[in-house]
Amino acid sequence: MAQGKGDIGLIGLAVMGQNLILNMADHGFTVVAFNRSVEKVHAFLANEAKGKSILGAESIPDLVSKLKSPRRIMLLVKAGAAVDSFIDQLVPHLEKGDIIIDGGNSEYTDSERRCKDLQAKGLRFVGAGVSGGEDGARYGPSLMPGGNKEAWPYIKEIFQSIAAKADGQPCCDWVGNEGAGHFVKMVHNGIEYGDMQLIGEVYHLMLALGVDQEQMADTFAEWNKGELDSFLIDITKDILRYKDSDGKHLLPKIRDTAGQKGTGKWTAIAALNYGVPVTLIGEAVFSRCLSALKPERETASRALPGPTAKFSGDPKKFLENVRQALYASKIVSYAQGFMLLREAAAVHSWDLDYGSIALMWRGGCIIRSVFLGQIKAAFDKDPGLRSLLLAPFFLDAITKAQDGWRNVVATAVTLGIPTPALSTALAFYDGYRSERLPANLLQAQRDYFGAHTYELLGKEGTFVHTNWTGHGGNVSASTYDA
């Protein structure tokens, strides 16, 4: 058992908390562990933590007393009320300059509030996104800290030591003020939703083609050697190969209803709040909601007719088209995610480093992939890049993939296979590249029924109203953007 005072305290001994503590101890830091159930602390010290530089705490005052100053205390507890409860318990025992770190999946608005509230009390708050699951926490997560920047020098060494490494650099850096860290983590999770939905749609298409699971696994394994090289593609290959105790593949036995913890939904809500068309993540969230309607879908499957068409092309050629569609849609998903980051940064005056964020996601996290290296390179070359779609590398990639992408979406529609993420990615791409969209008709309609006014081409900034019916009057409503 280590003697002396701890470098950092950690509250919450679920698997993520235990693994993060062990990771810190492996890197030479003394950690003080506390859990609401003290028996769990005792069990942890007697087993996984035995012989390591890990101390136990019997209470909040005991935890605080065993830490070096300024005290650094990290919470890995359920987001929401539990975080506020522990903060309330900690505050009376802390001194000016002490640091509280929330490493859970908290809403960024909560982190904004906590940062301001604690700063008024002389305390420093950090909202840190932690990604990588259990394995990442143990051997190297992606860490996205934000909040009170005065805290960063005191936690930087610990965080960057335990973080995953990509190209020799830690997948951790300071993100920005107040809620920036948890906002970036939220967008990360939204992109994760999108990636998983895209892969699910590809799996569905493969089933429609009659590809067996071993062939699917071989296909994903092959894709993982190229530009789609990523954690999610890799584990999909493993899932497809996995067999149950009866020797049959496990995947077809799993009920097709997907759960969610809320971060994807938060991303979609934030996109609506900021007016950013993050359509692919929105479709991924709604697809999970649709999957939950299992009884209704079973009834509808017997009542609602679908197309009778069967696939008649070359399966091998079509699978290459599917790979292209997956890659192009993935580019769109990340482009949308970074658009949302840029808009939020402008609203909150966050100085986000987009290349650094891409590096943070290169290792340790669920969306880690080779692909992110190209995103970092794009932002390093042009920090003011408005959209990844305009970066030369991604522009070239989508140009090459475009025909196959369109063929896949068209074929899916013909076969009656739902591909909401693949389809909305293509629709966004076509909308983004369109010099003119039919929004002029929308504006005319709004002015017709609500006198909401419109702008004329060449006279931008001047809002006018037309008396479309001759009896509607010439008084206009106040202009608004919605």
Torsion, Cα of 139, 173, 381, 401 (10° steps) = 40
pLDDT at 366: 86
Q: Is 287 annotated as a binding residue?
A: no
Tokens for 323? 């790979």
pLDDT at 2: 42
Cβ(388)–Cβ(398) under 8 Å? no
Task: Give buried/exposed letters for 421-452 (b at 16+ CB in 10 A, else e).
Answer: bbbbbbbbbeebeeeeeeeeeeeeebbeeebb
Q: Is 133 annotated as a binding residue?
A: yes
Expressed in percent and rounded to 5, the helix, strand and coil fractions of the chain are 55, 10, 35
Q: Is it true that the peptide bond before 70 is cis, omega within 30 degrees of 0?
A: yes
Handedness of CA 163, 165, 171, 174 (dihedral sign): positive
Q: Give the domain ranges of the chain.
A: 8-174, 185-433, 437-481
Q: Is it true that the peptide bond before 420 is cis, omega within 30 degrees of 0?
A: no
Q: Is 14 annotated as a binding residue?
A: yes
Q: Can you tell me the distance from the alpha carbon of 411 to that of 265, in angstroms, rounded to the nearest whole number?
A: 29
134 classed as catalytic: no
Count other Cβ atoms within 10 Å, centred on residue 155: 23
Query: In this structure, are strands 124-131 and 99-102 parallel, antiparallel, or unpaired?
Result: parallel
Cβ(157)–Cβ(179) under 8 Å? no
Element of type H or E holding 127: strand 124-131
Catalytic residue among 192, 265, 330, 376: 192
Q: Looking at this protein, which amino acid is placed at residue 75? A: L
In order of 98, 301, 437, the CA distances from 336 in angstroms are 37, 33, 19
**CATH code of the region 185-433:** 1.10.1040.10
Q: Can you tell me the distance from the alpha carbon of 152 to that of 290, in angstroms, rounded to the nearest whole number?
A: 42
Catalytic residue among 66, 185, 237, 330: 185
Q: What is the DSSP letter of 4?
A: S
Q: Looking at this protein, which amino acid is placed at residue 410? A: A
3-state secondary structure of 384: coil
Q: Is 271 annotated as a binding residue?
A: no
pLDDT at 481: 54
Q: Which of 370, 365, 372 is nearest to 334 (CA)?
A: 372
The residue with tokens 């010439």 is 474
- pLDDT tens for 63-73 read 999 999 999 99
pLDDT at 327: 97
pLDDT at 116: 97
Element of type H or E holding 464: strand 463-464
Q: Is 291 annotated as a binding residue?
A: no
2 exposure class (CB count in 10 Å sphere: 0-12, 13-18, 19+)? middle
Q: Which of 55, 42, 48, 40 is nearest to 5 (CA)?
A: 55
192 classed as catalytic: yes
Tokens for 314? 């070359």
Report, as ranges of residue numbers, the positions in the chain whose pLDDT lies below 70. 1-3, 261, 478-482
| Fold type of domain 8-174 | Rossmann fold (3.40.50)
| Fold type of domain 437-481 | 1.20.5
pLDDT at 482: 47
Q: Is 105 annotated as a binding residue?
A: yes
Q: pTM of the predicted model, to two decimals?
A: 0.92
